[in-house]
């Protein structure tokens, strides 16, 4: 299969996934209890004309097919509609929050990877995966994100970045430790060590390139993991990011906002999951 | 392998102890002792009481049993769904397999927490506590199958091309007959999937509850108890509110220990 065909296939699959995400989210929220009720209809400050317009809007959204057509058409034009809750364009709500969440994710992933890599380098130098060295990661993995965030908040130590970093470090440490342990035992590495090649050179020149594909896969997994942790972390730390926006929209059945956020998330996860094989393939070409 | 037996015994011990606490006479997770709100440990309330004067030990025991039972039931459902979908994708027509895997991709393209939150919020938020618990665990079961289905699909595809399968087909064994042989041969995949999913569901319920989207009050749940930690004035009065969280971490450690050993 040529590169162009594989890229086209990936694009077609991603588009199909996006389409199904839009349709699925629309159906789900449309049939959510209380979706068709609008608090503004009972607000006396609205003129009779505005109230009838709201009723007409609600009546239009009774048809699920019409609603789906509108949502898909709007999403294709890059228009996510207007928030029911805040009455402002959804893109205006998402864009500034994307920056906040992006910074939080970037710092969390960076710090988490640094901690995980250092711990794995230290741990893999030992003979066996000892319980003592694995214990912190095991305990951290058993703490729900919300509990970890609450502890940090109550103890007034660390913020959302630390919680995100600890979560990722615990998850990634186990993979990195196992990968590094395997790499150290490779015959050519053992031979190089026996010949007195320095550890630093071994790591940079031999081990890192051989682990590159696995590290790429782990990086994409880290993005998916950190996105899942985004909601409790942002809600509990009161960070005005996409996670908190989605939580708010979910509680208030704000379909346009929810759809916009879901699409952004689906694009992020799909791209991160497929970027790795694509980049490896392009590099090898 | 060495740790599996002690971990299992410890879990069984916790289940027995929790069941004994819940079934003690006068033990109720809803009964309020209005003269002893936020009380410290005493003979009548060994782990103190919460802000509404309810016995914390009974509530923690009930939350543990409810969460474990719910997670196990949801895990059984999700594993059964994964087995059915994975096998159908492997043994069905090419288009069926492709379609089912695209559906898996759709579920996997959305971060777990976002997906859970969206589906849970689309369900009634103000229902009876028992219904909210059922809805929460059903949502977990309904969304947890794609990753397991992918693993089952890979296993079933290997079975499909195996020699004995070819021989069975050549001998004229029909679809039902083949399915009867396929499922037992997938048990080595399904049992670990079932065990691995239990701690994941317990943790997901705790995270959902902490966001106010989990099991409704007055039914006790890990998530509800995490939610309690947001009440800062209460934390100033007693540190016993950390007891449920400590027990939750212990339970998750034990469940993950079982999963790793599996």
Could you read off the pLDDT of B17-75 as tens digits, one per residue? 999 988 888 778 888 877 777 777 777 787 778 778 888 888 989 999 999 999 999 99
Beta bridge partners of B7: none
**Among A39, A258, A282, which residue's Cα sits nearest to residue B117?**
A258
Residues 245-284 of A with CB under 8 A from B: 246-247, 250-251, 253, 258, 261-262, 265-266, 269-270, 273
Helix or strand or coil: residue A82? strand
Q: Report CA torsion sign: A14, A18, A20, A21.
A: positive
Report the C-alpha gap between A277 and A14 in whole angstroms.
15
Pairwise CB contact (< 8 Å): B103 & A143: no
**CB-based burial, A151-172: b 16+ in 10 Å, e otherwise:** bbbeeeeebbbbbbbbbbbbbb
Of B125, B206, B211, the CB nearest to A247: B211
CB nearest A246 (choices: B117, B203, B245): B117
Tell me A39's DSSP state: G
Residue B221 is given by DSSP the state -
Q: In this predicted model, which residue has the larger pLDDT, A15 or A101? A: A101
Distance CA B78, CA A134 (A): 30
State how far Cα B172 lies from the chain centre.
Answer: 41
Contact criterion met (CB < 8 Å) for B118 and A17 = no
CB contact under 8 A, B248 and A144: yes
Structure tokens at A209: 């390139």
B107 and chain A in contact, CB less than 8 A: no
pLDDT tens-digit profile of B115-140? 777 777 677 666 788 888 888 888 88
Q: Does residue A127 surpass a pLDDT of 90?
A: no
> Does the beta-carbon distance from A269 to B103 stay under 8 Å?
no
DSSP single-letter state for residue B216: P
Test mutation, B114, B147, B203, chain A, max A CBs within 10 A: B114
pLDDT digits (tens, 9 = 90+) for A53-103: 666 666 665 677 777 777 777 777 777 778 877 888 888 889 889 999 999
Cβ <8 Å between B113 and A270: no
How many CB atoms sit inside 10 A of residue A57's CB? 12
Q: What pLDDT does A51 receive?
A: 66
Q: Is 60 exceeded by the pLDDT of residue A279?
A: no
Calculate the alpha carbon distances from B210 to A151, A166, B214, B222, B241 in Å. Answer: 13, 19, 8, 8, 14
Percent residues over pLDDT 70 in chain A: 80
Asked whether the beta carbons of A160 and A239 are under 8 A apart, the reply is: yes
B109 vs A contacts (CB less than 8 Å): 17, 21, 265-266, 269-270, 273
* Residue B256: closest CA among B71, B114, B82: B71
* Residue B2 predicted with pLDDT over 60: yes
Nearest partner of A72 among A64, A33, A11, A248, judged by Cα: A64
3-state secondary structure of B54: strand
pLDDT band with cut points at 50, 70 and 90 for residue B76 = very high
Dihedral over Cα of A17, A19, A22, A27: its sign: negative
Find out whether B106 and B39 touch, Cβ atoms under 8 Å. no
User: Above 90 in pLDDT, residue B177?
Assistant: no
pLDDT at B82: 92
Query: At B190, is the secondary structure helix, strand, or coil?
Result: helix
B224-230: list long-range contacts, CB under 8 Å, 24+ apart.
Answer: B224/B63, B225/B59, B225/B60, B225/B63, B226/A144, B226/A146, B226/A147, B226/A150, B228/B50, B228/B51, B229/A147, B229/A150, B229/A154, B230/A150, B230/A236
Contacts of B253 in chain A (CB under 8 A): 138-139, 142
ipTM: 0.78
A246 vs B113: CA distance, rounded Å: 11
Cis check: omega of the bond before B213, within 30 degrees of 0: no
Residue B15 has pLDDT above 90, yes or no: yes
The residue among B50, B52, B67 whose CA lies nearest residue B240 is B50
| d(C-alpha B54, C-alpha B42), whole Å | 13
pLDDT at B158 over 70: yes
- The pLDDT assigned to B47 comes to 76
Distance, CA of A176 to CA of B248 (rounded, Å): 27
Averaged pLDDT of chain B? 83
Scanning every residue of chain B, which has its alpha carbon at the shortest distance from the alpha carbon of A257?
A: B118
Interchain pair A145, B249: CB under 8 A:
no
What's the burial of A34, exposed, middle or buried (CB within 10 Å: 0-12/13-18/19+)? exposed
Checking if the pLDDT of A264 tops 90, the result is no
Nearest CA in chain B to A249: B118
């Amino acid at each position: 299969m040529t590169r162009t065909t594989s890229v086209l296939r990936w694009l077609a699959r991603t588009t199909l996934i996006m389409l199904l995400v839009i349709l699925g989210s629309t159906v789900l929220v449309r049939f959510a209890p209380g979706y068709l009720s609008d608090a503004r209809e009972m607000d006396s400050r609205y003129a009779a004309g505005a109230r009838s317009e709201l009723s007409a809007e609600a009546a239009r959204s009774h048809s699920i097919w019409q609603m789906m057509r509108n949502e898909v058409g709007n999403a294709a034009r890059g228009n996510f509609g207007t928030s029911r809750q805040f009455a402002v364009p959804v893109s205006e709500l998402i864009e500034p929050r994307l920056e906040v969440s992006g910074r939080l994710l970037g710092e969390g992933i960076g710090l988490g990877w640094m901690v995980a890599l250092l711990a794995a380098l230290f741990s893999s130098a030992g003979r066996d995966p000892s319980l003592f060295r694995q214990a912190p990661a095991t305990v951290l993995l058993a703490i729900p994100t919300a509990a970890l965030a609450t502890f940090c908040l109550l103890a007034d130590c660390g913020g959302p970045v630390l919680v995100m970093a600890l979560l990722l470090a615990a998850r990634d440490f186990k993979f990195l430790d196992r990968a590094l342990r395997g790499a150290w035992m490779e015959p050519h590495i053992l031979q190089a060590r026996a010949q007195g090649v320095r550890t630093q050179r071994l790591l940079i020149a031999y081990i890192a390139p051989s682990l590159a594909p696995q590290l790429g896969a782990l990086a994409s997994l880290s993005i998916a993991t950190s996105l899942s942790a985004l909601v409790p972390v942002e809600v509990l730390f009161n960070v005005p990011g996409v996670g908190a926006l989605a939580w708010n929209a979910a509680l208030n059945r704000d379909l346009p906002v929810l759809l916009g956020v879901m699409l952004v998330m689906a694009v992020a996860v799909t791209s991160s999951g497929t970027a790795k094989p694509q980049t490896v393939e392009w590099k090898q070409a | 392998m060495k740790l599996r037996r002690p971990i299992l015994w410890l879990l069984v011990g916790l289940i027995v102890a929790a069941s004994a606490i819940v079934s003690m006479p006068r033990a109720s997770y809803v009964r309020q002792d209005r003269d002893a709100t936020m009380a410290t440990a005493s003979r009548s309330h060994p782990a103190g009481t919460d802000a509404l004067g309810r016995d914390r030990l009974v509530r923690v025991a009930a939350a543990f049993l409810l969460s474990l039972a719910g997670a196990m039931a949801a895990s059984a459902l999700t594993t059964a769904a994964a087995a059915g979908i994975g096998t159908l994708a492997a043994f069905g027509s090419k288009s069926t397999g492709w379609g089912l895997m695209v559906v898996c991709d759709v579920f996997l393209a959305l971060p777990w927490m976002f997906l859970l939150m969206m589906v849970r919020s689309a369900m009634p938020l103000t229902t009876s506590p028992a219904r909210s618990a059922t809805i929460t665990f059903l949502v977990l079961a309904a969304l947890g199958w794609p990753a397991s289905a992918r693993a089952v699909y890979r296993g079933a595809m290997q079975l499909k091309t195996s020699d004995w399968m070819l021989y069975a087909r050549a001998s004229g064994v029909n679809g039902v007959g083949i399915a009867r042989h396929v499922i037992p041969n997938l048990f080595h995949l399904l049992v670990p999937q079932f065990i691995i999913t239990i701690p994941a569901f317990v943790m997901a319920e705790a995270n959902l509850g902490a966001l106010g989207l989990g099991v409704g009050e007055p039914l006790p749940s890990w998530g509800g108890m995490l939610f309690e930690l947001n009440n800062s004035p209460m934390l100033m009065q007693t540190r016993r509110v950390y007891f449920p969280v400590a027990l939750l971490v212990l339970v998750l450690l034990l469940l993950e220990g079982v999963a790793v050993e599996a």
